[in-house]
Each structure stands twice: as C-alpha cells, then as structure tokens.
Structure 1
Amino acid sequence: MTSLVDPAAERIVLDALGGVLSTVPGDAAIGIAFSGGLDSTVLLDAAVRVAGPQRCIALHVHHGLSPNANRWLAHCESTARALGAGFDATYVEVRRRPGESLEAAARDARYRALDALCALHRVSMLWLAHHADDQAETVLLQLLRGAGVAGLAAMAPHRVEGTATIGRARPFLALLRAQLERYARSRELRWVEDESNADTRYARNALRHDVIPALTVHFPGFRDALARTASHAASAQRLLDDLAQIDLKAIGKDDGRSLSRRALLALDGARAANAMRWWMRANGLPVPSAARLSEMLRQVREARAEHAMRVDHAGARLRLYRDAIYWESGEPSVHFEGQASASIKEACELVWRNDEVWRLPQWRGSLVFEPVPAGEAGIDTVPEALLASAPLTARPRTGGERMRRAPGAPARTLKNLFQEAGVPAWQRDVPLIYLGERLLFVPNLGINGAFATAPRTSASERGGPRRRLEWRADLLIA
C-alpha cells in the first residue's frame, strides 16, 4: 500500500536544508555522512532534492563492528546511485586508547575518515544528520559525566573543527526524530537498522530507551530546555576561547608550538587550565579530564631537572626544556647522544643545480638556497661553486657529530652547541646537511665554520655568487 504524501513533513525538512545550502558557495560539492540509517537517509534524499544530485556525494564509513557492516555498505551505495548522487566509502579499524569507550573511539575514527574523504573529493562542507533528540541525549550525557562548558555546548549547528578547512553542518539540529520519520514515510524511503542501537549497555542507548521516554511524559519541553543550555554553554565557551587566545599570545613561544612555563604558572589555576585546553586543541590533541589536566599542571609546576618531566597523553608526551613546555611525539625521533632513535630516517641526496628549495618530508621541512645579493657575503653564506662541487646529503643525527660555529673556533659536539644556543630537544630532530663527507650545515645552528668565509675576505676570495642556507619547518603541526 502506497503511503500518503505528507507535504507539511516534507516542507519542514526541505526548508531546514535550504537554509544551510545558502551558506555553501556556488556549485561547491556537499558531502553527506551516510550510515544508511533513518536520519542520514532522510538527509541524503532531501539534499539531492534541494542541492541537486550532481553536487552531493554520500560518504560511508565501514567500521567492521557489526556482522551486517558489508550489507549496510552495499545498501548505502545502491541508495546513493539510485538518487543520482556520488558515493565513496572507506574502511577503518577502531582502536581504543586506555580508558576510552568503544563509542568514543568509533566516533573519532569515523570523523577522521570522513574528513579524509572530504579532502579527497574536494568537498566544501560535510552535512551530518544529528537532530534535536541527539542533541538532548548529548547534553544529558555530558551533565551526567560532570563535563565542563565545552562538553555542555554539545553539537554546534555549524562549525569548522580546529584547523580544518572543511565545515560541518547539522541542518536537522532543530528537528525531532519523529519529524524525520514522517518525511521518510511520506517518501517511502528504505533504511537499515543498527542492532547495536537496542543495546542498553551503551550509555546513549540507555538514555534513549529508559530515560528519555520518562522525561517526555513529565517534562515535555525538555528538549528545548536542553538545547538552550547547549546554546548558552557554546556562547560561554567562545568567550573562554577568546580569553585563551589572548593568553596564548602572551605565554606562547615559537608560533605557539611551546609555552613559557614561567608565564603559564603566573596565571591563576582556572585561567592556566583554560589556556592549556585551547593550546592542546590547537595542536590536534583531545582535551583531557579536569583531573588529568590538573595533574599535568602540577607536574609542570613541580618539575625541576631538564627533560625530567614527562606526561603521556593521547599518543604524545608533554615535556619541559628550560622555560619551554612542548609536546613530543609518542614515538620520538629526537636523537640524543648515547640514545638510539625510535624513528629511523634514511639519508637522501641532492646533486645541486641552482635549486631554490630542497624538500625533505622525513623531517617535515625544506632547505632553502636563498640567493645573496652581490657584496653581501658573510659567514652564513657559501659559494654556489662549492654547493655544486659534490653531492649534498641529508642525514639524521646519530650522536657525536661536531662542527665549528665560526671560522677558527674549536670544533664542538652538536649536543653542546644546541644547549649553548638554547635549542630545545624537540627542535633538534633536523637533517644534517653534508657536502660530500663533510658536515656543511645544521638547522638552528648554521653553516659549519670550517666552510664559512670571513666577511673581511676579498670578493675574489669569496668565489662568485653565493647562497644563504635556511631551514624552514612545515607550518603544520604533526
């Protein structure tokens, strides 16, 4: 029996998408997070009607957590094709960090995979099918977990996450699931049911099946009330983020890659914690619990010896060097004399032919050969003829390397020179540039004085055109 068309139900959904579509530039592609369930099926169908199938691409993430996952994938692809939309899918392996729930790990894996698919297909904005019931559940969960302001802000209708360039929009956040279901019935849509949604061992499902129905009876307006709570919390969080950015300008060092310990501890406890939270998010790290963050700040406050402080978090390590607090990769590639490297980098070679840039992705940076105007030769430059006289080789530190900081100065170990120059440990994982078998240049230290020419030498002795070597680290923080 054919369902009766429900124009009112369809108009509510289409109007919600129309408002969001007006924020998407021109004919830019729109990604639809498509699980195959009711909510995302309504979103895909309505998006095709509002934006046109040529602009829509359904993006599916295969977690492999259900025995039905392959069937869901096939259903999603056939549904998207039938609507004329594009389709792509990716497989992810869900790995939990210590203390992390399966739900949280799967959610993080899904968003990383969706971001990667959006980048691959040059999607301008990703649309997600979360609705008012989802928002209410999220706020309740955060309240029960004792979350802070950021947690209570729950899901934003529209947001660009962190440093990402792909926006995320949730057009249905003001609509009830019942309204989406009316649309689906009117359009005779078919969707899949995830059997795990009935498992009340998961906190969200317990709220959905046991708590929400009781709240609906006794507090029928609770969804609107919780939505207002989320909105107020989001406004408060924006103010806290603004304050954190003001503080980071005062306490940040090296373009925000590290913090001044002295300046951080000069802030009161709540303000220091707020600055730390923003700094961690800016570095792509999840924000820890209040107790964990308090422990981090305690260790920062009480640390004494250089390199003695180590706080592990989300695959990274919080370290202290002199006055600098910084994050080190969980698998450090920083070499110290007498310490084996945990991340081996292979040497690579360049036969120099007037190159301007030598890209060295292993070290996340580039060596720039900057031309020097005539008459500006100095100890930080080398003749082009010298650069072309033998192959250049970029090698990792192995320990014990020595160089001269200036012509005639004694040769000293790189470890001593780095310490003398105040270069922190996380900036010492740099390529050593050899000319033939002789060390020519070390980023953050300069040209080996054994090669450098003193400024007082004549133009003829300086050997014609020269280049200044400059190491430029990638701007992206790994």
Structure 2
Amino acid sequence: MHADGALVEAAGEVLAAAPLGAHSRICCALSGGVDSLVLFEVLRRLQPRFGYRLAAAHVDHGLSPHAGDWADACARRCAAAGIPLQVFRVGVDRDHPHGLEAAARSARYGALERVACDWLVFGHHQDDQAETLLFRLLRGTGVRGAAAMRPVVVAAAGAPGRLRPLLAVRREQILDWARRNALDWVEDESNDETRFTRNAIRHRLVPVAEALFPAAVPVLARAADHFAEADALLGELAAGDVAACGGEPLDRARLRALSPARQANLLRWLLQQRGAPTPSRARLDDVLQQLRDCPPAQALRLSLGAWVCCAYRDALWLEPAIAAVPERCVWQGEAVLPWGADEVCFVGVTGEGVSRVRLARAAAVYLAPRVAGMRLRLSPARPRREFRKLCQEAAIPEWVRDRLPVLWVDAEPAWVGGIGVAAEFACAPGEAGVLPCWRPAGGSSPG
C-alpha cells in the first residue's frame, strides 16, 4: 500500500475500534502543528466512510508571541475546508506546582472538554507514546500510568471520549505524509526548549536510547500496550474483589482479609471508577495501614485527596470530600432537588412515603439540615426518639449526620435521609404518596 494510504488506514482502524455512531460529533484538537494538521486532513478523508460530523478546536495559551498567527492559520485551514472551528483563549498558571508544561496541558484539556462533542481527537503519535512512558516511569508511576496513552478512551462522567488515531504511527511517517500532501504547518519554538522535561526526553534521552537500541521507540510503545493489558487485568481482579466484599459499601472484615496488594488495588480501582486521581503510594499505604491496625469496630474517615475512605461498624466506602450543604431547598413538586454534592429524588408511590394530602395542605415544604434536639417517631406505636439514637440504629456515622437531608413540612420533620418517614406524615394503605430518596455523591454511603 502507498505510504499515504497506509497512514490513513492506520487511523481508520482506530476509528473502527471506537463506538462511533453514524452521526457522532468529533472534534479535532488543532494546534496548527504538523501532527494535528495531518490528523485534521486524515479525518476529512475518513469522514465519508464513517459518517461523523467533524469540527475543530484551537487553544491559544498566550505563551508565545506567535500565538495569534497560529490561531489565524487554523481558522484559514478550517474555513477553506468548510469545517467549523472554535478558538479558546486560556490563561496558564505560571506558578503551577508541576511546572508550566503541566499547567498548559491542564488549561488546554479544560478548554477542549467544553466543546459540545462526543469525541475529542488528538494527534499523538508513537514517538509521543514512548516519551510519555519514559516520563512517567522516571516519576515512579504504577501500572496504570505506565500504560501511557490509549488509542480509544470511552466517554465517562459527562466528558467526551478521546481518540488518538495516529498513536501507532511514527513521527517521521507523519512528516513524510505532510510533505507528500504539500501541507503548510506552524512550528512551536518552545518544542526545542530542553528546559521543559518532555522536550529534554525527546531531544536528549530518546536519541541515546535509539543509538543503543534502534527500535527503542516502537519497543517502548509496545511495552505501554503490555502495561495497558496488565492494568485491564488488575481492573478485573478489583471488580471481582468488590463483589467478594459484598459490593458497595464493602464488608469491612472481608476487605481486611484480602492481601495488602489486593486492598490497594481495590481502592485504586474504586477511585478510578469515580474519575478521581490516584493518591500517592505513601498516602494509600497509610490509609490501608490504619484500616488494618484499628479495631474492626472503630469508625474511620481517612483522606484520599478529593475523596475520603470511610469505615463505620461493618461497612467501608468511599465518598467525596463534601462541601457544606445548603441551608434550605424549597420543594415545589420537583422530581429531583440538589443537596450539596448529593441529590434527593421524589418518587410518586402508593401506600408508602410521605402523604400527598399532607404535602398539599402545607404552607412550606423544604429540604434543610437537622436542628438541635430534633426527634422523630417512625411508628405510631412508639414515642418520638432522639436523632442521635435513630442514627446509631441506622448505622449512620457521626460525620454524616450533619449533612443528612431532612424534609420539613411546616417546620416539622417529615422524613430524614437514611432513616425514614415520620409516622405523622406517613401514607395510609392505598393512599398516594411521595417517597424521597437520598442519593449520596459516590453512591456508596451506608446512609
């Protein structure tokens, strides 16, 4: 096959492996450099085959005096092709703790993820993959990090999916394709500045590796594939261990019975499923050590960054580090009300939940936190009981109690999340009712 066709077909294989629909909206991240420009032209050639809707986006970081010229070049290219282009101008945190490279990358991805599309498409190639693997290994990454970039990353948590159709293609092949097709591209002068770590790896470390091992780049890329396969197997093991621990929330005793390595793998996997960054090895080891050393019944709330590992009685779960809950959320018949990072759903039912008649007669119905001295009667045959004792019976730990949603009806508590409906407001058999359902963020709190 001709070199031009081979590169296009390599990209086509990646697109075919992705769950692209006939009218999927895909957006090419177009910097104006040779990699993204070749990607743009390849996507145009493949568009009739796959039927997707193609757009492009350019991010101006404002770091180069030539940034405006690059944006103009992308605009001309897209206008000539009849492809819509969005241009984002972003600020870059020059005091970012991980350096200017990381700050620019964070700003770039943050802007691109605002594009209304199903897939973001990037021009990363095999040389980028080898450099990424070396960069991460030298920083002490684990198996997941060593898997480097994936050609297809399915959308999660409302963000678009990511495609890298040129990931198996060498940079020299891309340059050759651009020259054969008479493409004009821009050069980012910062790519030659070896004060940036990735540039130093590209210009200093990789040439040494290739002098010793001529196939170093494809071999490193193949190693990343092996790490990706190992990461997938670790994910399968973690999913099996979650099931063996009773699902979420986890059975604390069963988790403690796993080996330390499997405990760590399980917690990392649960965080990854939530889109959370993996904590440092030292932090994760400290959390697991406390879980192993503390008495089985001791309540624990251990920070893992934006998430916390919680243990109470027999249960263990992850939950976000919760922001303060709102003071009051008025309910006017909505199906869902926000409750801080959580939400409360209101489901129409018969013979259970809060009486619709009582709700219709009320002057004010709203969600708010508990108040001091609050008591609740869960059964007509029993007296009102202290909130603290009801929480103890429902296995709700102390740190959760202040953020429990309470449905107040004319200043009387009618329902408490994780506890139930007050007897005075409960539906009679056959009566229409509304059943509030508290859905904690992360979905695994025992409340």
Q: TM-score, normalised by structure 2?
A: 0.85
What is residue 294 of structure 1 aligned with on the other side? 285
Q: Spell out the pairing of 1:258-269 with structure 2 (5 A cutoff).
A: 258-269=249-260
What is residue 32 of structure 2 aligned with on the other side? 36
Find out whether 1:388 has 2:360 as its counterpart. yes
| Residue 472 to residue 345, structure 1, CA distance change in 2 (3 Å) | closer
- Residue from 43, 64, 68 that aligns with 1:47: 43
* Distance in 2, Cα, partners of 1:168 & 1:430: 37
* Distance in 2, Cα, partners of 1:239 & 1:12: 32
* Distance in 2, Cα, partners of 1:10 & 1:126: 23
What is residue 336 of structure 1 aligned with on the other side? none
What is residue 421 of structure 1 aligned with on the other side? 394
What is residue 310 of structure 1 aligned with on the other side? 302
What is residue 267 of structure 2 aligned with on the other side? 276
* Distance in 1, Cα, partners of 2:164 & 2:79: 23
Cα deviations by residue, 1:405-444 (Å, 9 ceiling, x for unpaired): 2225333343432222112444763432122222211121
What is residue 435 of structure 2 aligned with on the other side? 469
Shift of 1:229: 1.3
- Residue from 187, 190, 205 that aligns with 1:211: 205
| Residue 21 to residue 228, structure 1, CA distance change in 2 (3 Å) | closer
The residue type equivalent to 2:230 in the other structure is A
- Residue from 411, 431, 445 that aligns with 2:405: 431
8 A contact 2:3–2:177 mirrored in 1? yes
Q: Which moved more, 1:81-90 or 1:242-251?
A: 81-90
* Distance in 1, Cα, partners of 2:201 & 2:65: 25
Cα deviations by residue, 1:183-217 (Å, 9 ceiling, x for unpaired): 22223323333333222222211111112222333
8 A contact 1:408–1:450 mirrored in 2? no
* Distance in 2, Cα, partners of 1:439 & 1:97: 49
* Distance in 2, Cα, partners of 1:412 & 1:65: 63
Cα deviations by residue, 1:72-123 (Å, 9 ceiling, x for unpaired): 3343333222222122244555569996454345434533443332xx23x2
* Distance in 2, Cα, partners of 1:182 & 1:30: 25
Cα deviations by residue, 1:149-202 (Å, 9 ceiling, x for unpaired): 222222222232655674322211121111111222223323333333222222
| Residue 64 to residue 265, structure 1, CA distance change in 2 (3 Å) | farther
* Distance in 1, Cα, partners of 2:65 & 2:246: 49
What is residue 77 of structure 2 aligned with on the other side? 79
The residue type equivalent to 1:347 in the other structure is R
8 A contact 1:409–1:449 mirrored in 2? no
* Distance in 1, Cα, partners of 2:440 & 2:283: 30
8 A contact 2:319–2:441 mirrored in 1? no
8 A contact 2:143–2:227 mirrored in 1? yes
Q: How many residues align?
A: 436
- State the percentage of identical aligned residues: 36
Find out whether 1:233 has 2:230 as its counterpart. no
The residue type equivalent to 1:142 in the other structure is R
What is residue 412 of structure 1 aligned with on the other side? 385
| Residue 68 to residue 148, structure 1, CA distance change in 2 (3 Å) | same
* Distance in 1, Cα, partners of 2:59 & 2:241: 39
Q: Which moved more, 1:424-433 or 1:272-281?
A: 424-433
| Residue 197 to residue 433, structure 1, CA distance change in 2 (3 Å) | same
* Distance in 2, Cα, partners of 1:96 & 1:329: 29
The residue type equivalent to 1:272 in the other structure is Q
Q: Spell out the pairing of 1:344-359 with structure 2 (5 A cutoff).
A: 344-351=325-332, 358-359=335-336
Shift of 1:38: 1.6
What is residue 361 of structure 1 aligned with on the other side? 338
What is residue 459 of structure 1 aligned with on the other side? none
The residue type equivalent to 2:435 in the other structure is L
Any idea what SS the aligned residue of 2:44 has? helix
8 A contact 1:347–1:393 mirrored in 2? no
Shift of 1:287: 1.3
Q: Which moved more, 1:144-153 or 1:88-97?
A: 88-97
What is residue 145 of structure 1 aligned with on the other side? 139
Q: TM-score, normalised by structure 1?
A: 0.80
Shift of 1:265: 1.8
The residue type equivalent to 2:128 in the other structure is D
* Distance in 2, Cα, partners of 1:361 & 1:230: 42
Cα deviations by residue, 1:22-57 (Å, 9 ceiling, x for unpaired): 343323222212222221111012211221598211
Cα deviations by residue, 1:432-468 (Å, 9 ceiling, x for unpaired): 2122222211121111133347xxxxxxxx5973315
Any idea what SS the aligned residue of 1:139 has? helix
| Residue 224 to residue 430, structure 1, CA distance change in 2 (3 Å) | same
Any idea what SS the aligned residue of 1:116 has? coil
* Distance in 2, Cα, partners of 1:415 & 1:91: 52
* Distance in 2, Cα, partners of 1:249 & 1:54: 39
The residue type equivalent to 1:349 in the other structure is V
Shift of 1:14: 1.9
Q: Spell out the pairing of 1:127-142 with structure 2 (5 A cutoff).
A: 127-142=121-136
